[in-house]
Amino acid sequence: MQSLNDMLSESRIFANREALSPHFIPKKLVSRSKEINGIERALAPSLKGERGRNLFIYGKTGTGKTSCTRYVLDEVKGIPNTKAKISYINCKIYNSRYRVLNKIVSDHLPTYAKRGYGTVDLYEKITNWIEEDNKILVAILDEVDIVKDLDDLVYTLTRINSDIRAGGVTMIGIANRISFKDTLDPRSLSTLYESELVFPPYYANELYEIIKDRVATGFKPNVINEDTLHFIAAAAAREGGDARLSLKMLSKAGELADEKGTDKITMKDAEEASKLADTDIVYELIGTLPEHHKLVLYSIALLTQSGGSYKKLTDGVDTYLFSGEVYGRYKSLAESMHKEAKSERWYRKYLSELEMQGLVASFESGKGIRGHTKLIKLLYPPQKTKEVLESEIFGREKKEEKE
Protein backbone atom coordinates (compact mmCIF):
# COMPACT_ATOMS: atom_id res chain seq x y z
CA MET A 1 0.00 0.00 0.00
CA GLN A 2 1.07 3.56 -0.68
CA SER A 3 1.66 5.92 2.18
CA LEU A 4 0.33 9.45 2.10
CA ASN A 5 3.86 10.64 1.62
CA ASP A 6 4.18 8.53 -1.52
CA MET A 7 0.92 9.83 -2.87
CA LEU A 8 2.00 13.41 -2.46
CA SER A 9 5.39 12.85 -3.95
CA GLU A 10 6.01 13.49 -7.59
CA SER A 11 4.74 10.94 -10.10
CA ARG A 12 7.32 8.68 -11.66
CA ILE A 13 5.07 8.18 -14.68
CA PHE A 14 3.43 11.46 -15.64
CA ALA A 15 5.25 14.54 -16.84
CA ASN A 16 2.18 16.46 -18.03
CA ARG A 17 -1.23 14.90 -17.54
CA GLU A 18 -2.89 17.62 -19.55
CA ALA A 19 -1.29 16.31 -22.76
CA LEU A 20 -3.02 12.97 -22.25
CA SER A 21 -6.45 14.41 -21.65
CA PRO A 22 -8.96 13.72 -24.42
CA HIS A 23 -9.87 17.42 -24.36
CA PHE A 24 -6.37 18.43 -25.26
CA ILE A 25 -5.99 19.64 -28.82
CA PRO A 26 -2.55 18.80 -30.12
CA LYS A 27 -0.62 21.14 -32.41
CA LYS A 28 -0.23 18.44 -34.99
CA LEU A 29 -3.17 16.30 -36.11
CA VAL A 30 -2.38 12.87 -37.46
CA SER A 31 -3.62 11.93 -40.98
CA ARG A 32 -6.43 14.41 -41.22
CA SER A 33 -5.13 16.78 -43.90
CA LYS A 34 -7.97 15.93 -46.28
CA GLU A 35 -10.59 16.64 -43.62
CA ILE A 36 -8.86 19.84 -42.49
CA ASN A 37 -8.77 20.94 -46.09
CA GLY A 38 -12.50 20.23 -46.43
CA ILE A 39 -13.26 22.51 -43.50
CA GLU A 40 -10.97 25.21 -44.85
CA ARG A 41 -12.75 25.03 -48.18
CA ALA A 42 -16.11 25.47 -46.49
CA LEU A 43 -14.83 28.53 -44.62
CA ALA A 44 -12.96 30.16 -47.50
CA PRO A 45 -15.94 31.95 -49.14
CA SER A 46 -16.98 33.54 -45.84
CA LEU A 47 -13.46 34.86 -45.36
CA LYS A 48 -13.84 36.61 -48.69
CA GLY A 49 -17.19 38.02 -47.64
CA GLU A 50 -19.37 35.57 -49.54
CA ARG A 51 -21.87 33.11 -48.22
CA GLY A 52 -20.48 29.61 -48.77
CA ARG A 53 -22.37 26.38 -48.87
CA ASN A 54 -23.44 24.90 -45.58
CA LEU A 55 -21.38 21.94 -44.51
CA PHE A 56 -22.34 18.88 -42.60
CA ILE A 57 -19.66 16.87 -40.83
CA TYR A 58 -20.21 13.50 -39.35
CA GLY A 59 -18.25 10.60 -37.96
CA LYS A 60 -18.21 8.50 -34.80
CA THR A 61 -16.96 9.96 -31.53
CA GLY A 62 -13.22 10.37 -31.32
CA THR A 63 -12.63 10.62 -35.06
CA GLY A 64 -11.22 14.14 -34.71
CA LYS A 65 -14.18 16.26 -35.82
CA THR A 66 -13.92 18.78 -33.01
CA SER A 67 -10.11 18.88 -33.05
CA CYS A 68 -9.92 19.48 -36.80
CA THR A 69 -12.57 22.17 -36.66
CA ARG A 70 -10.84 23.99 -33.82
CA TYR A 71 -7.56 23.63 -35.60
CA VAL A 72 -8.97 25.45 -38.63
CA LEU A 73 -10.54 28.09 -36.37
CA ASP A 74 -7.13 28.77 -34.90
CA GLU A 75 -5.72 29.26 -38.38
CA VAL A 76 -8.54 31.63 -39.28
CA LYS A 77 -8.01 33.76 -36.18
CA GLY A 78 -4.83 35.07 -37.71
CA ILE A 79 -6.52 36.44 -40.83
CA PRO A 80 -7.05 40.23 -40.56
CA ASN A 81 -9.99 42.33 -41.78
CA THR A 82 -12.30 39.53 -42.66
CA LYS A 83 -16.06 39.84 -42.89
CA ALA A 84 -16.41 36.36 -41.46
CA LYS A 85 -17.70 36.33 -37.90
CA ILE A 86 -17.43 32.89 -36.45
CA SER A 87 -19.32 31.35 -33.56
CA TYR A 88 -18.23 27.95 -32.36
CA ILE A 89 -21.17 26.52 -30.45
CA ASN A 90 -21.03 23.36 -28.39
CA CYS A 91 -24.63 22.20 -28.56
CA LYS A 92 -24.20 19.96 -25.56
CA ILE A 93 -24.35 23.21 -23.62
CA TYR A 94 -26.37 25.37 -26.02
CA ASN A 95 -29.00 22.76 -26.76
CA SER A 96 -31.94 24.80 -28.03
CA ARG A 97 -32.61 27.42 -30.67
CA TYR A 98 -32.93 30.05 -27.98
CA ARG A 99 -29.60 29.20 -26.40
CA VAL A 100 -27.80 29.06 -29.73
CA LEU A 101 -29.12 32.49 -30.76
CA ASN A 102 -28.20 33.82 -27.36
CA LYS A 103 -24.68 32.43 -27.70
CA ILE A 104 -24.27 34.10 -31.09
CA VAL A 105 -25.36 37.42 -29.64
CA SER A 106 -23.07 37.10 -26.64
CA ASP A 107 -20.13 36.17 -28.91
CA HIS A 108 -20.50 39.19 -31.16
CA LEU A 109 -22.72 41.71 -29.44
CA PRO A 110 -21.71 41.31 -25.81
CA THR A 111 -23.37 44.53 -24.74
CA TYR A 112 -26.74 43.09 -25.68
CA ALA A 113 -26.14 39.73 -24.18
CA LYS A 114 -28.30 40.23 -21.18
CA ARG A 115 -30.97 37.88 -20.02
CA GLY A 116 -34.54 38.46 -20.89
CA TYR A 117 -34.55 38.82 -24.65
CA GLY A 118 -37.02 36.68 -26.52
CA THR A 119 -36.22 34.68 -29.64
CA VAL A 120 -37.62 37.40 -31.89
CA ASP A 121 -35.43 40.09 -30.30
CA LEU A 122 -32.35 37.94 -30.67
CA TYR A 123 -33.23 37.23 -34.26
CA GLU A 124 -33.56 40.94 -35.04
CA LYS A 125 -30.34 41.81 -33.24
CA ILE A 126 -28.42 39.25 -35.26
CA THR A 127 -30.06 40.21 -38.55
CA ASN A 128 -29.39 43.93 -38.13
CA TRP A 129 -25.85 43.30 -37.04
CA ILE A 130 -25.14 41.18 -40.15
CA GLU A 131 -26.73 43.72 -42.44
CA GLU A 132 -24.83 46.67 -40.99
CA ASP A 133 -21.75 45.95 -43.07
CA ASN A 134 -22.46 42.73 -44.97
CA LYS A 135 -21.00 40.37 -42.45
CA ILE A 136 -20.95 36.64 -42.93
CA LEU A 137 -21.91 34.80 -39.79
CA VAL A 138 -20.46 31.30 -39.66
CA ALA A 139 -22.32 29.24 -37.08
CA ILE A 140 -20.41 26.10 -36.21
CA LEU A 141 -22.79 23.80 -34.41
CA ASP A 142 -20.84 20.99 -32.75
CA GLU A 143 -22.90 17.99 -31.58
CA VAL A 144 -25.80 19.59 -33.41
CA ASP A 145 -27.93 16.46 -33.04
CA ILE A 146 -28.46 17.33 -29.39
CA VAL A 147 -30.39 20.53 -30.18
CA LYS A 148 -33.96 19.86 -29.08
CA ASP A 149 -35.68 22.04 -31.66
CA LEU A 150 -33.15 21.66 -34.44
CA ASP A 151 -35.67 22.09 -37.26
CA ASP A 152 -36.62 25.47 -35.78
CA LEU A 153 -32.99 26.47 -35.38
CA VAL A 154 -32.09 25.58 -38.96
CA TYR A 155 -35.19 27.33 -40.19
CA THR A 156 -34.39 30.49 -38.22
CA LEU A 157 -30.76 30.69 -39.29
CA THR A 158 -31.74 30.06 -42.90
CA ARG A 159 -34.43 32.68 -42.78
CA ILE A 160 -31.88 35.32 -41.93
CA ASN A 161 -30.48 34.80 -45.44
CA SER A 162 -33.78 35.64 -47.09
CA ASP A 163 -34.50 38.54 -44.71
CA ILE A 164 -31.33 40.47 -45.35
CA ARG A 165 -30.12 42.45 -48.33
CA ALA A 166 -26.44 41.91 -47.71
CA GLY A 167 -24.20 39.50 -45.85
CA GLY A 168 -25.35 36.08 -44.81
CA VAL A 169 -25.20 33.04 -42.59
CA THR A 170 -23.28 29.83 -43.23
CA MET A 171 -23.79 26.79 -41.06
CA ILE A 172 -21.37 24.02 -40.25
CA GLY A 173 -23.10 21.18 -38.42
CA ILE A 174 -21.16 18.41 -36.70
CA ALA A 175 -22.71 15.15 -35.46
CA ASN A 176 -21.72 11.74 -34.16
CA ARG A 177 -24.88 9.96 -35.21
CA ILE A 178 -25.41 9.39 -38.86
CA SER A 179 -28.94 8.11 -38.50
CA PHE A 180 -30.01 11.37 -36.91
CA LYS A 181 -30.62 12.51 -40.48
CA ASP A 182 -33.88 10.57 -40.37
CA THR A 183 -35.16 12.63 -37.49
CA LEU A 184 -34.86 15.91 -39.38
CA ASP A 185 -37.47 17.66 -41.39
CA PRO A 186 -36.65 17.18 -45.12
CA ARG A 187 -36.31 20.95 -45.48
CA SER A 188 -33.74 21.36 -42.72
CA LEU A 189 -31.99 18.28 -44.02
CA SER A 190 -31.43 19.69 -47.49
CA THR A 191 -30.34 22.99 -45.96
CA LEU A 192 -27.76 21.46 -43.65
CA TYR A 193 -26.44 18.99 -46.18
CA GLU A 194 -25.46 21.37 -48.98
CA SER A 195 -22.10 19.68 -48.69
CA GLU A 196 -20.87 16.90 -46.52
CA LEU A 197 -17.65 15.63 -44.97
CA VAL A 198 -17.25 12.22 -43.37
CA PHE A 199 -14.64 11.43 -40.72
CA PRO A 200 -13.76 7.73 -40.84
CA PRO A 201 -12.64 5.81 -37.74
CA TYR A 202 -8.89 5.61 -37.19
CA TYR A 203 -6.87 2.55 -38.07
CA ALA A 204 -4.53 1.02 -35.50
CA ASN A 205 -1.46 2.58 -37.14
CA GLU A 206 -3.04 6.04 -36.99
CA LEU A 207 -4.01 5.59 -33.36
CA TYR A 208 -0.46 4.52 -32.71
CA GLU A 209 0.81 7.79 -34.18
CA ILE A 210 -1.69 9.76 -32.12
CA ILE A 211 -0.77 8.21 -28.79
CA LYS A 212 2.94 8.08 -29.59
CA ASP A 213 2.94 11.89 -29.93
CA ARG A 214 1.30 12.28 -26.56
CA VAL A 215 3.63 9.89 -24.81
CA ALA A 216 6.50 12.22 -25.59
CA THR A 217 4.94 15.14 -23.72
CA GLY A 218 2.61 13.37 -21.28
CA PHE A 219 4.95 10.81 -19.75
CA LYS A 220 8.45 10.84 -18.37
CA PRO A 221 11.08 9.27 -20.64
CA ASN A 222 11.06 5.48 -21.13
CA VAL A 223 7.88 4.87 -19.20
CA ILE A 224 6.19 2.80 -21.86
CA ASN A 225 7.60 0.51 -24.54
CA GLU A 226 6.64 0.12 -28.19
CA ASP A 227 4.83 -3.21 -27.79
CA THR A 228 2.55 -1.78 -25.16
CA LEU A 229 1.78 1.24 -27.33
CA HIS A 230 0.93 -1.01 -30.25
CA PHE A 231 -1.28 -3.08 -28.01
CA ILE A 232 -3.25 0.00 -26.94
CA ALA A 233 -3.61 1.26 -30.49
CA ALA A 234 -4.87 -2.12 -31.64
CA ALA A 235 -7.30 -2.42 -28.74
CA ALA A 236 -8.79 1.00 -29.47
CA ALA A 237 -8.97 0.22 -33.19
CA ARG A 238 -10.93 -2.94 -32.44
CA GLU A 239 -13.34 -0.93 -30.33
CA GLY A 240 -14.19 1.33 -33.25
CA GLY A 241 -11.17 3.50 -34.02
CA ASP A 242 -11.90 6.16 -31.42
CA ALA A 243 -8.88 8.38 -30.63
CA ARG A 244 -10.42 9.49 -27.36
CA LEU A 245 -10.63 5.87 -26.26
CA SER A 246 -6.99 5.21 -27.13
CA LEU A 247 -5.94 8.22 -25.06
CA LYS A 248 -8.10 7.14 -22.20
CA MET A 249 -6.51 3.70 -22.26
CA LEU A 250 -3.07 5.26 -22.31
CA SER A 251 -3.62 7.54 -19.34
CA LYS A 252 -5.46 4.84 -17.42
CA ALA A 253 -2.49 2.53 -17.91
CA GLY A 254 -0.33 5.34 -16.58
CA GLU A 255 -2.53 5.71 -13.53
CA LEU A 256 -2.41 2.00 -12.78
CA ALA A 257 1.38 2.03 -12.90
CA ASP A 258 1.46 5.23 -10.86
CA GLU A 259 -0.67 3.70 -8.12
CA LYS A 260 1.92 0.98 -7.75
CA GLY A 261 4.60 3.61 -7.46
CA THR A 262 6.67 2.17 -10.31
CA ASP A 263 8.27 4.01 -13.20
CA LYS A 264 7.17 1.61 -15.99
CA ILE A 265 3.84 0.83 -17.57
CA THR A 266 3.59 -2.91 -18.09
CA MET A 267 1.60 -4.82 -20.68
CA LYS A 268 -0.63 -5.99 -17.84
CA ASP A 269 -1.41 -2.38 -16.92
CA ALA A 270 -2.34 -1.73 -20.54
CA GLU A 271 -4.59 -4.77 -20.71
CA GLU A 272 -6.42 -3.80 -17.58
CA ALA A 273 -6.64 -0.18 -18.70
CA SER A 274 -8.14 -1.18 -22.02
CA LYS A 275 -11.03 -2.83 -20.21
CA LEU A 276 -11.57 -0.01 -17.73
CA ALA A 277 -11.33 2.76 -20.32
CA ASP A 278 -13.93 1.11 -22.47
CA THR A 279 -16.59 1.33 -19.79
CA ASP A 280 -15.62 4.87 -18.87
CA ILE A 281 -16.14 5.94 -22.44
CA VAL A 282 -19.56 4.36 -22.55
CA TYR A 283 -20.75 6.37 -19.59
CA GLU A 284 -19.44 9.50 -21.25
CA LEU A 285 -21.22 8.54 -24.42
CA ILE A 286 -24.49 8.27 -22.54
CA GLY A 287 -24.07 11.90 -21.62
CA THR A 288 -23.99 12.90 -25.27
CA LEU A 289 -27.26 11.18 -26.15
CA PRO A 290 -30.21 13.40 -27.04
CA GLU A 291 -32.99 13.66 -24.50
CA HIS A 292 -35.42 11.02 -25.70
CA HIS A 293 -32.66 8.49 -26.30
CA LYS A 294 -31.72 9.00 -22.68
CA LEU A 295 -35.29 8.46 -21.56
CA VAL A 296 -35.57 5.23 -23.54
CA LEU A 297 -32.26 3.96 -22.18
CA TYR A 298 -33.28 4.96 -18.67
CA SER A 299 -36.50 2.98 -19.07
CA ILE A 300 -34.47 -0.02 -20.17
CA ALA A 301 -32.16 0.29 -17.16
CA LEU A 302 -35.07 0.63 -14.75
CA LEU A 303 -36.90 -2.37 -16.17
CA THR A 304 -33.75 -4.47 -16.29
CA GLN A 305 -33.24 -3.81 -12.62
CA SER A 306 -36.73 -4.18 -11.31
CA GLY A 307 -38.80 -5.97 -13.92
CA GLY A 308 -41.77 -4.13 -15.34
CA SER A 309 -45.46 -4.76 -15.26
CA TYR A 310 -44.77 -7.79 -17.44
CA LYS A 311 -42.78 -10.70 -16.24
CA LYS A 312 -39.20 -10.28 -17.29
CA LEU A 313 -37.38 -12.91 -19.21
CA THR A 314 -34.12 -14.11 -17.86
CA ASP A 315 -31.98 -17.01 -18.87
CA GLY A 316 -30.28 -17.00 -15.52
CA VAL A 317 -27.58 -14.61 -16.64
CA ASP A 318 -29.19 -11.90 -18.73
CA THR A 319 -32.46 -10.05 -18.57
CA TYR A 320 -34.44 -9.54 -21.75
CA LEU A 321 -37.24 -7.03 -22.05
CA PHE A 322 -40.14 -6.82 -24.44
CA SER A 323 -39.88 -3.90 -26.79
CA GLY A 324 -43.50 -3.03 -26.03
CA GLU A 325 -43.02 -2.86 -22.28
CA VAL A 326 -40.00 -0.59 -22.72
CA TYR A 327 -42.09 1.72 -24.86
CA GLY A 328 -44.80 1.75 -22.20
CA ARG A 329 -42.29 2.60 -19.50
CA TYR A 330 -40.77 5.34 -21.64
CA LYS A 331 -44.19 6.84 -22.28
CA SER A 332 -45.14 7.01 -18.63
CA LEU A 333 -41.70 8.35 -17.77
CA ALA A 334 -42.03 11.13 -20.33
CA GLU A 335 -45.50 11.96 -19.09
CA SER A 336 -44.36 12.11 -15.48
CA MET A 337 -41.79 14.65 -16.60
CA HIS A 338 -44.39 16.65 -18.53
CA LYS A 339 -42.74 15.86 -21.82
CA GLU A 340 -44.48 14.66 -24.90
CA ALA A 341 -43.59 11.03 -25.60
CA LYS A 342 -42.62 10.37 -29.20
CA SER A 343 -44.52 7.91 -31.36
CA GLU A 344 -43.55 4.24 -31.62
CA ARG A 345 -41.99 4.90 -34.97
CA TRP A 346 -39.53 7.32 -33.32
CA TYR A 347 -39.07 4.97 -30.44
CA ARG A 348 -37.91 2.25 -32.82
CA LYS A 349 -35.40 4.68 -34.32
CA TYR A 350 -34.06 5.53 -30.89
CA LEU A 351 -33.72 1.86 -30.11
CA SER A 352 -31.78 1.13 -33.26
CA GLU A 353 -29.48 4.06 -32.53
CA LEU A 354 -28.86 2.84 -29.00
CA GLU A 355 -28.07 -0.49 -30.57
CA MET A 356 -25.67 1.07 -33.05
CA GLN A 357 -23.87 2.77 -30.17
CA GLY A 358 -23.44 -0.64 -28.56
CA LEU A 359 -25.50 0.21 -25.51
CA VAL A 360 -28.25 -2.34 -26.03
CA ALA A 361 -28.75 -5.45 -28.13
CA SER A 362 -32.03 -6.60 -29.59
CA PHE A 363 -33.25 -9.94 -30.83
CA GLU A 364 -36.32 -11.22 -32.57
CA SER A 365 -38.06 -13.44 -30.08
CA GLY A 366 -38.85 -16.18 -32.55
CA LYS A 367 -42.12 -18.05 -32.34
CA GLY A 368 -43.61 -18.96 -29.02
CA ILE A 369 -43.12 -15.82 -27.03
CA ARG A 370 -46.11 -13.65 -27.91
CA GLY A 371 -45.94 -14.24 -31.61
CA HIS A 372 -43.12 -12.21 -33.05
CA THR A 373 -41.69 -9.53 -30.88
CA LYS A 374 -38.45 -7.75 -30.28
CA LEU A 375 -36.45 -8.47 -27.15
CA ILE A 376 -34.05 -5.95 -25.72
CA LYS A 377 -31.03 -6.42 -23.54
CA LEU A 378 -28.96 -3.77 -21.80
CA LEU A 379 -25.27 -4.34 -22.45
CA TYR A 380 -23.95 -2.42 -19.43
CA PRO A 381 -24.54 -2.78 -15.71
CA PRO A 382 -28.03 -1.44 -15.00
CA GLN A 383 -27.23 0.25 -11.69
CA LYS A 384 -24.36 2.31 -13.03
CA THR A 385 -26.22 3.09 -16.26
CA LYS A 386 -29.19 4.22 -14.20
CA GLU A 387 -27.08 6.46 -11.98
CA VAL A 388 -25.37 8.10 -14.92
CA LEU A 389 -28.68 8.74 -16.60
CA GLU A 390 -30.28 10.06 -13.45
CA SER A 391 -27.67 12.72 -13.01
CA GLU A 392 -27.93 13.50 -16.72
CA ILE A 393 -31.72 13.66 -16.89
CA PHE A 394 -32.66 15.02 -13.51
CA GLY A 395 -29.47 16.91 -12.75
CA ARG A 396 -29.97 18.97 -15.90
CA GLU A 397 -33.70 19.26 -15.46
CA LYS A 398 -33.20 21.29 -12.31
CA LYS A 399 -30.76 23.63 -13.94
CA GLU A 400 -33.01 24.29 -16.91
CA GLU A 401 -33.85 27.98 -16.96
CA LYS A 402 -37.11 29.50 -17.98
CA GLU A 403 -37.04 30.41 -21.62
Ligand X SMILES: Nc1ncnc2c1ncn2[C@@H]1O[C@H](COP(=O)(O)OP(=O)(O)O)[C@@H](O)[C@H]1O
Q: Which stretch binds ligand X (CB under 6 A): 54-62, 90-98, 258-266, 278-286?
A: 54-62
Residue 180 CB, shortest distance to Mg ion, in Å, is: 14
Give the binding-site size for ligand X (rule: CB under 6 A). 20
Q: Which residue is nearest to Mg ion (CB)?
A: 66
> Looking at the chain, how many residues does it have?
403
Distance (Å) of CA 239 to CA 61, 271, 360: 12, 14, 16
Please choose, from the candidates 211, 331, 337, the residue with its C-alpha nearest in 3D space to the C-alpha of residue 274.
Answer: 211
Site membership for ligand X, residue 357 (CB under 6 A): no
Q: Which stretch binds ligand X (CB under 6 A): 99-107, 119-127, 243-251, 381-389?
A: 243-251
Site membership for Mg ion, residue 63 (CB under 5 A): no
CA dihedral sign of residues 114, 117, 121, 126: positive
Interface with Mg ion (CB under 5 A), residue from 46, 66, 288, 304: 66
Select 29 or 375, whichever has its Cβ closest to ligand X. 29
d(CA 60, CA 357): 9
**The entry of Mg ion, ligand X, none that residue 22 binds, CB within 5 to 8 Å by partner kind:** ligand X
**The entry of Mg ion, ligand X, none that residue 29 binds, CB within 5 to 8 Å by partner kind:** ligand X
Interface with ligand X (CB under 6 A), residue from 46, 66, 183, 357: 66
What is the dihedral angle through the alpha carbons of 254, 260, 261, 266, rounded to the nearest 10 degrees?
-50
* Inter-residue contact 58 to 178 (CB < 8 Å): yes
Site membership for Mg ion, residue 69 (CB under 5 A): no
**The entry of ligand X, Mg ion, none that residue 103 binds, CB within 5 to 8 Å by partner kind:** none
Q: Which stretch binds ligand X (CB under 6 A): 115-123, 162-170, 242-250, 254-262?
A: 242-250
Q: β-pairing, 319-322 with 360-364?
A: unpaired
Please choose, from the candidates 131, 138, 30, 1, the residue with its C-alpha nearest in 3D space to the C-alpha of residue 76.
Answer: 138
Please choose, from the candidates 385, 339, 378, 331, the residue with its C-alpha nearest in 3D space to the C-alpha of residue 355.
Answer: 378
Spatial neighbors of 339 by CB under 8 A, at least 6 apart, are 291, 295
Site membership for Mg ion, residue 288 (CB under 5 A): no
Interface with ligand X (CB under 6 A), residue from 11, 12, 15, 25: 25
Site membership for ligand X, residue 29 (CB under 6 A): yes
Please choose, from the candidates 293, 357, 302, 300, the residue with its C-alpha nearest in 3D space to the C-alpha of residue 323.
Answer: 300
Site membership for Mg ion, residue 362 (CB under 5 A): no
What helix, strand, coil percent values describe the chain, rounded to 5?
55, 10, 35
**The entry of Mg ion, ligand X, none that residue 24 binds, CB within 5 to 8 Å by partner kind:** ligand X
Apex 393 CA angle, 311 and 91, nearest 5: 135
Residue 325 CB, shortest distance to ligand X, in Å, is: 34
Site membership for Mg ion, residue 274 (CB under 5 A): no
Determine the 3-state secondary structure of 358 from DSSP. coil
Interface with ligand X (CB under 6 A), residue from 12, 24, 49, 88: 24
Using CB under 6 A as the binding rule, the residues of this chain from 193 to 212 that contact ligand X are 210
Site membership for ligand X, residue 67 (CB under 6 A): yes
Site membership for ligand X, residue 358 (CB under 6 A): no
Q: Which residue is nearest to ligand X (CB)?
A: 64
Provide the CB-side half-sphere exposure for 382 (13 A, CA): 15
Interface with ligand X (CB under 6 A), residue from 13, 14, 32, 265: 32
Centre a 10 Å sphere on the Cβ of residue 116 and count the other Cβ atoms it contains. Answer: 5
H helices present in 181-266, as ranges = 186-192, 204-218, 226-238, 243-259
Q: Which stretch binds ligand X (CB under 6 A): 17-25, 38-46, 84-92, 292-300?
A: 17-25
Site membership for ligand X, residue 30 (CB under 6 A): yes
d(CA 149, CA 86): 22
Residue 234 CB, shortest distance to Mg ion, in Å, is: 23
Residue 29 CB, shortest distance to ligand X, in Å, is: 4
Interface with ligand X (CB under 6 A), residue from 59, 168, 218, 254: 59
Residue 288 CB, shortest distance to ligand X, in Å, is: 9
d(CA 179, CA 196): 14
Binding site for ligand X (CB under 6 A): 22-26, 29-30, 32, 59, 61-67, 210, 243-244, 247
Chain contacts with Mg ion (rule: CB under 5 A): 65-66
